[in-house]
Amino acid sequence: MPRFKHYIGSYNQGTVVEYEVTDTTHWVQMVRETMVSCDDDARFNGWGLIRKFNISTGNGSSYVGRLPEDADKNSWIKDEKTNQWIMEKDVS
């Protein structure tokens, strides 16, 4: 599955951990106002990395799970994309 987390460090007496997260998706399609991207596992096996971006609100999210039910199995377009960001996690 193309999601990788790299430990950067911790702070606040070790109760907060920082990771650099890298997501790689391979396919994309529009589902109404939402651009849905996924990796090969999600497209071909039904479970994998999913990224969503709503063009009206500008809100985006990503998760590992099932494809949205309204995604059309025949509408995928090959589109490799990599996103990176810093994630903080409370481990207290």
| pTM of the model as a whole | 0.82
Centroid of chain to Cα 70: 18
pLDDT on residue 1: 60
In DSSP terms, 34 is beta-bridged to 31, 54
C-alpha span between 36 and 52 (Å, rounded) = 5
Q: Identify the sign of the CA torsion 33, 38, 42, 43.
A: positive
Domain that holds residue 78: 3-90
Question: Which region, left, alpha or beta, applies to residue 12 given φ > 0 means left and ψ of -120 to 50 means alpha?
Answer: left
At 23-77, the pLDDT tens digits run: 999 999 999 999 999 999 999 998 999 999 999 999 999 999 999 999 999 999 9
One-letter amino acid for residue 53 of the chain: F
